[in-house]
Structure 1
Amino acid sequence: MRPEDGKKVYDQIEIPKELELTVRCSVEEAARRREARRKEEAENSAERDRREEKDLEKRGPERTGLEMESTEKDPLTEKQEEKQGRQRQRENGARSPIYRLLRRTAAAAAGVLIAFTVGLNTNQAFAENMSRVPGLGFLASVLTVRSYHESEGDYNIHAEVPGIMQSQEETGNRSLQADKVNEEIERIADSYMAEAKAEFEEYKEAFFAAGGTEEEWNNRQMNISIDYEVKYQDEAVLSLELTAFKGWINASEERHYYNLDLSEDRELTLQDVLGSGYAELCNKEVVRQIEERMAADENQIFFGFGRAGDMAEGFTTVDENTDFYISGTGEVVLVFPEYSIAPGYMGTTEFTVGPMVKDGMGETGKRNKK
């Protein structure tokens, strides 16, 4: 079923009252996870600065007596003090319970757009696994190519837009698949924010046209977020998730997945990662888990099953277009968007179906079987 058709059916379903709290908690939990990732990035950055400062301290005693007696401040000392100052600012800010509120208020008052270009993705699991692969021809890494925050007027925007980069030192090869993914990610990020803003403007116009007042409007804002996560990385396989979120009267989220075989410069399919019998395996697991979830929780509703069995066509089978990612433990996880197999309040639904197999990945499989 198409998501737009599922939404029409969902609008006709009576939703239990207790689900309002469940949905709100889910949205808040997603926000907490995003904030935790940003905090981890700040801590990793501070740790890198501390290591650099230790290196500078070790170099200090090596200077000559003439340099130590000079009335001019040593450039190394200046750099060290500057880094220490930045570190103290970060630590003091992180300890302050009103840090995020002050930052948001200042940005809103000034109406500024802060843009940063190219910042390293500090996902720890990804960084630890990143290494040069013999014979690969390039080193792939995921960078934040656009990072900006805007809190002005009707919008509160946080965007971290990724890009897949390769080093061509060994053979001069260039990943055409990575270039294709990068172009698509840029297009998705730009169009999502433009469409979200247009949607909010239409609602605002209709609100006042219907007789709403400024007092009733009460400076409402739409929250828009673009973020990403490296789900899995080994010497040959990269699994990347791009998330786009908007929230105002209600919240909605869409996700995009990119699973690449870096050694062969191609996109991976379910057949590649699960073998030729992938459809039967996936279908059996999805149905089993749907029935299991519905039996354990009456608030779990899926089209075509149980009390929603006659309301709409539900899950039937996976195909080559079914979204998936590879988890950090190497498990293949199927992903179904809002309204596709379940009511909207269920959000994006996921099913772990089994470990990735590599026999069908050409040179990738051969290398990993050794």
Structure 2
Amino acid sequence: MDKKLETLREAYKDIPIPKELDAVVTKALQKKKKRKPLYIWPAGVTAAALLFIATVNFSPDAANAMSKVPFVKKIIEVITFHEFKEEKDNSSINVKTPAVTGLDNKSLESNLNKKYIEESKKLYEEFTHSSASKKGHFSIDSDYEKVTDTPVILSIRRTTQRTQASGYIQDQYVSIDKENHVLITLKSLFKNNQYVNVISENIKEQMKQQMKDDPNKAYFITDEDMPEETFTKIDPNQQFYITDDYKLVISFDEYEVAPGYMGAVEFKIPTEVISDMLVGDRYIH
């Protein structure tokens, strides 16, 4: 991997969602919170937003979008909170900041939206630092999309691509239980941490089969010359999402488990492989 991209990868890892949110899933499933009659934008998000606005100009389109939020208070949705583009010297940036609306769980909604805002702030700071250093062309593009939107689950993917000589693509996912208004974490899906090894072994089997079927595919699982790059197992908090047919998909950033030409890669995990370890079949079946 290009040393500059490796540095970027390490310096701009995903800002973790606060650990205390893991407990929200269990609590909410035991007792569903009562819906509030009115939508109130969390004060914490407002403060964070003002800090972000001080860095970049707030767009009229975003203000208009936020003004309509009270009318969709019963719908859990993701909207564009802010979008900005800028070019300076040999650097450019194009970033859309998503925001989740309509959750009864205002603590979760606030934390998720502050997380999105902080990520955008860091991207802008990265852009300004690069443009000031004038060390060649550098670009940042960040967008989002709903990959799953069922009556039960909303999964959001935020994709960020950095380009400097070559590119680096990073996908970040958030999955929400729309009925119970809670965050779905990878750990919360399983009874214990046994899932890490089981899923990892299945992914390695899929990698080997893909390379056997297609000689153009390659993964970091047998490189004796670079053992530090060899994929051994997933992180307990590995990026993931749940499909609209309730299957688990594990995602890896570009360069994380494969050469750059493979891009960001993902693996759908057969439910029968993990069914005995699942807490239940509400999300995956």
TM-score, scaled relative to structure 1? 0.51
What whole-Å deviation, never above 9, does each CA across 1:258-298 have from its counterpart, x for those lacking one? Answer: 12224444322335446666335412320111101222334
2:253 corresponds in structure 1 to 337
The letter of the residue matching 2:221 is: G
User: Partners of 1:152 and 1:196 in 2: how far apart?
Assistant: 9
Q: 1:149 to 1:199 in 2, by over 3 A?
A: closer
Deviation of 1:142 (Å)? 0.7
State the aligned residue count.
223
Residue 117 of structure 1 corresponds to which residue in structure 2? 62
* Residue number in structure 2 paired with 1:182: 113
Which residue is 1:323 aligned to? 239
Contact 1:281 1:353 in 2 (8 A): no
Task: Please give the per-residue CA displacement for 1:95-119, whole angstroms capped at 9, x wherever unaligned.
Answer: xxxxxxxxxxxxxxxxxx8933157
Task: Give the AA of the match of 1:311.
Answer: M
1:240 is displaced (CA, Å) by 0.9
1:62-105 per-position Cα deviation (integer Å, ceiling 9, x unaligned): xxxxxxxxxxxxxxxxxxxxxxxxxxxxxxxxxxxxxxxxxxxx
Output the amino acid matched with 1:163: A
| Structure 2 unaligned regions, length at least 5 | 8-56, 66-71
Cα distance in 1, alignment partners of residues 58 and 181 from structure 2: 35
The equivalent position to 1:140 in structure 2, one of 72, 76, 82, is 76
CA separation in 2, counterparts of 1:156 and 1:241?
A: 22
Distance 1:145 1:265 in 2: 20
- Report the CA distance shift for 1:351/1:339 in structure 2 as closer, same or farther (over 3 A): same
Q: Which segments of structure 1 move beyond 4 Å, counting only runs of 4 or more?
A: 271-277
From the superposition, tell whether residues 281 and 149 of structure 1 become closer, same or farther in structure 2 (CA, over 3 Å): same
Give % identity: 21
SS of aligned partner of 1:146:
strand
Whole-angstrom distance in 2 between the partners of 1:284 and 1:354: 12
Structure 1 residue 332, shift from structure 2 partner = 1.4
**TM-score, reference length from structure 2:** 0.64
Contact 2:92 2:127 in 1 (8 A): no
2:127 equivalent in structure 1: 196
Query: RMSD of the alignment, in Å?
Result: 3.8
Q: Can you give the 5+ residue segments of structure 1 that lack an aligned partner in the other structure?
A: 9-112, 121-131, 168-172, 208-220
- Partner amino acid, structure 1, of 2:196: A
Q: Structure 2 vs 1, CA of residues 326 and 175 (structure 1 numbering), >3 Å: closer, same or farther?
A: same
Q: What corresponds to 2:172 in structure 1? A: 256
